[in-house]
Structure 1
């Protein structure tokens, strides 16, 4: 009997290492950043069995068979829709400034989405201002409201949005709401979904999380976009989830979340609506492509340009990181970046250092306290390298700074849902706006100046005095940074 168990153990040992060898080959030959591959190999070899299981569950992009088939069938009609937008008079490639011409060419060639002029943009930077404006526009809706968010958390002014949607549905407005399953888990447990559905609101749980589904698709792919479109005339997007910060994560110890949103009217409303339509169809199989933007006979040649950039699985690989790096490389005088989660890729880290080395003033504003322990420690592992290169790092003390923005040369900016981490670059469904409008950018710069007033600069000499346990913890979590 002992020999039987010994033989069984030996067979199990051999089979396990054959499995590890097979997974290793798969990791090595999978095209992706080297750092990600090395991080996975470390996990597989350091954590027996569980490391291999983790790789099978979340190691590779996999939307699932149904979503994958739908997405493939959707490419042609959506490609044709965006091709028509190129013919709209709001698309004026000859008038696009040098500031974003490279980004426009990149997005036009890889995404098929053109930059459009003629939008009217308003920057909203307080929760009350944002949620009140959304409610006010919902109350005026006549035909259709399309929304998608990563988090909807009930309470406070967020409930006012829900009540406004119920009233809109009851007066005959079509209301489609798409919410991420994991991000909005508390909302789906509340009484609101049933109340909304009974009132005629269509609510869909995106990327549902369950133990059964983990065998068919990757569980940590998340719908991180924040979009509201009303009557294909008004749209909102930005960093804020559908939450009232006074009622959201009050016990997390990081303070209230700080965000901005953009309210826009003009041709790019239809583009944002089409991104929602894509996400809606991937989840439901129902196609609801919006009408094309209206193309007037003539438009103001001095209207500034906005480029919409959706990113995530199913989109061109690495598109948002390419946009960011292109923008940073073109900076001449200054760059100010805000992000709650800072775990840069090797190429982004190199780009930031190089930009500072060539004399550009680079400011990075991060929250002092973070709701993610791993990200908080991993991000600190990059501080010394950046500080030595001349990058200015400021830690925001006024809550969890959740605004995701990049201001370049105080003339144009990037604003949206993308964090500077590998998750936003590779795993999350995101959306960003590149705005070539000095006046709008000036408004955003004023907001960022307000953040700086509530921040403490990180000094290199002081930072270098941190103790050994602090340094060890940084380095430990930094090993996982390609996966965060």
Structure 2
């Protein structure tokens, strides 16, 4: 019996050794950031067994065979639809300024989506105002409502949105709702889910979470977009999930979530509608592309060019990251960023440091308290090198600052669903709007300055005197940055 256990133990050790060796080779041979590869190797070797399992679950961008096959088949027809936008009257490169022109060229070449003029934007910053505006537009819907969200959390005014959707369906409006499976578990357990289905609303779970699929698809890959499109005439996007902050995560100890949404009209609505159609087809296999906008332009109107920048599996790799880098490198005076989750790649870290070192005023606003302690500690691991390079860091103390925005030179801005972490920039389904309009950018600039008034600056000298315990926690959680 002792001999049996001896050989059984040796066999298990041998199997584990081959697994570790195989995963190590996979990590080394995979083409990606060296820092990410090193982090994964440390996880694999420091945490036996769990490290290997974690790599199988989270280590590679794996959409799953069925969805990946659909995405490959979809790229050509969607690309053809996007390319037709170049013939739209709203695509007028001559009316674009220096900040957005290279982004138009980049996105056009990589995914076929051009920058379109002739839009209007309304910035909404109050959660009740946002939800009431959405309800009003739903109540005026005539033909279709399309929605995709990471989180739908029942309660408060969010329930009034659900009721408005049911009433819209009863009067004959087609309603398609796509919600992330991991982000919206309370919705799928609520009575609203059943009532919507009974009313005839098409509700789909995006990227359903099933542990037995860990070897077939990356489980933490998430549908993180927030898009509403009504009659292909009005759209919303931004950082806010379909939640009433007064009823959402009240026991997390971080305060209410601070968000924005942007109400869009004009040709960009059709592009956001197409992004929803992409997500819907990935999940259901059903295709329904919106009409191509005609959008006659009046020369006297301010052009208000908007570039829609989507990302996610099946779309060109790292597109949003590239747009962000191009935008920051063009800055002449200021770069100000708000993000709830700050765990940047080595490339983004160097971009921010280099920008500050060439004399640009670079400001970073992030929450003082975060709903993820791992992210909170990992974020602070970057403070020292950024502060030493001249980046100004502010910690917001008025709730969980969830707004994702970048304002450059008070002339150009990026707003949307994208956090400054590798998950958003490399993995998830995300969407961002690149906007070159002085009036709208002034509004974003003013909002960011209001955030700074509710923040306190991090002083380099004081930061360097923080306790050793804090430094240890920062470096420990930094090791897990591929998972954050």
Smaller-chain TM-score bracket? over 0.9
Residues 1:383 and 2:383 aligned together: yes
In the TM superposition, what whole-angstrom CA distance separates every residue of 1:46-96 from its partner, at most 9, and x where no partner exists? 122221121112211111111111111111110110111111111112322
| Corresponding residue for residue 464 of structure 1 | 464
Counterpart of 2:146? 146
**2:42 matches 1:42:** yes
Q: Do the aligned residues in 2 keep the contact of 1:181 with 1:207 (CA within 8 Å)?
A: yes
Equivalent position of 1:2 in the other structure: 2
Please give the alpha-carbon distance, in whole angstroms, between the structure 2 residues aligned to 1:258 and 1:277: 28
Unaligned residue ranges in structure 1 (runs of 5+): none
After superposing the two structures, state which structure 1 stretch, 382-391 or 233-242, moved more. Answer: 382-391
Partners of 1:377 and 1:474 within 8 A in 2: yes
Q: Deviation of residue 297 (structure 1)?
A: 6.9
1:296 and 1:433 mapped to 2: Cα distance?
Answer: 22
Map residues 306-455 of structure 1 onto 2, 5 A cutoff: 306-455=306-455
| Contact 1:345 1:482 (C-alpha < 8 Å) held by counterparts | no
> Which ranges of structure 2 fall in alignment gaps of 5 or more residues?
none
Q: Is the 8 A contact 2:277 2:288 kept in 1?
A: yes
Please show how residues 81-92 of structure 1 align to structure 2 within 5 Å: 81-92=81-92
- Match status 1:15 vs 2:18: no
Contact 1:118 1:304 in 2 (8 A): yes
Local SS of the residue matching 1:212 = helix
Q: Do 1:90 and 1:299's aligned partners in 2 also have CA atoms closer than 8 Å?
A: no
Once residues 386 and 51 of structure 2 are traced to their aligned partners in structure 1, the CA distance between those partners, rounded to angstroms, is 32
Q: Aligned partners of 2:208, 2:121: CA distance in 1, in Å?
A: 34
CA shift for structure 1 position 405: 0.1
Q: Which residue of 1 aligns with 2:262?
A: 262
Deviates more, 1:64-73 or 1:173-182: 64-73
Question: 1:470 aligns to what SS in structure 2?
Answer: helix
Task: Find out whether 1:105 has 2:101 as its counterpart.
Answer: no
SS, match of residue 117 in structure 1: coil
Residue 220 in structure 1 maps to residue 185 in structure 2: no
SS at match of 1:414: strand
Aligned position for 1:69: 69
- TM-score, normalised to structure 1's length? 0.98
Aligned-partner Cα distance in 2 for 1:15–1:221: 28
Moved more, 405-414 or 31-40: 31-40
SS in 1 for 2:433: strand
User: 2:397 touches 2:454 (CA, 8 Å); kept in 1?
Assistant: yes
Match of 2:252, SS state, is coil
Q: How far apart are residue 299 of structure 1 and its match?
A: 5.1
By how many angstroms is 1:301 displaced?
A: 6.7
Separation in structure 2 between the aligned mates of residue 10 and residue 247 of structure 1, nearest angstrom: 54
- Deviation string for 1:170-209 (max 9, x for gaps)? 0000000000000001111111100111111111111001
Cα displacement (A) at 1:298: 5.6
Q: Secondary structure at the match of 1:365?
A: strand
Q: Counterparts of 1:337 and 1:315 in 2: how far apart (Å)?
A: 25
Instruction: Give the CA RMSD over aligned residues.
Output: 1.2
CA contact (8 A) 1:313 1:426 kept: no
Q: Distance in 1 between matches of 2:181 and 2:238?
A: 20
Q: Secondary structure at the match of 2:228?
A: strand
More divergent stretch after superposition (59-68 vs 117-126):
59-68
Q: Deviations over 1:2-60 (max 9, x none)?
A: 23332232232222212211111111111111111111111111122221121112211
Which residue in 1 is equivalent to 2:276? 276
SS at match of 1:355: helix
Deviations for 1:314-345, whole angstroms, at most 9, x for unmatched residues? 11111111111111111000011000000111
Mapped to 1, the partners of 2:64 and 2:461 lie a distance apart of 50
The 8 Å contact of residues 149 and 242 in structure 2, kept in 1 or not, is answered as yes
Aligned pair 1:177/2:180, yes or no? no
The question of whether the paired residues in 2 share the 8 Å contact of 1:118 and 1:299 is answered with no
SS at match of 2:41: helix
Per-residue deviation, 1:115: 0.4
Could you tell me whether the CA contact under 8 Å between 1:220 and 1:427 is conserved in 2? no
Q: Report the Cα distance in structure 2 between the residues aligned to 1:397 and 1:464, rounded to whole angstroms.
A: 21
Q: Is contact 1:92–1:116 with CA below 8 Å preserved after alignment?
A: yes
In the alignment, the residues of structure 2 paired with residue 426 and residue 325 of structure 1 have an alpha-carbon distance, to the nearest angstrom, of 14
- Partner in structure 2 of residue 246 of structure 1: 246
Secondary structure at the aligned position of 2:211 is classed as: coil
What's the secondary structure of 1:335's corresponding residue? strand
Deviations 1:274-304 (A, max 9, x none): 0000000110111111111123276557412
> Hey, what's the Cα distance between the residues in 1 that align with 2:121 and 2:422?
29
CA–CA separation in structure 2 for the residues paired with 1:68 and 1:479: 30
Cα displacement (A) at 1:482: 3.3
The answer to whether the Cα contact below 8 Å between 2:43 and 2:479 also exists between their aligned partners in 1 is no
Residue 206 of structure 2 is matched in structure 1 by 206
Q: Shift of residue 129 of structure 1?
A: 1.1
Cα distance per residue 1:72-129 (max 9 Å; x no partner): 1111110110111111111112322111111111111111110000000010001011
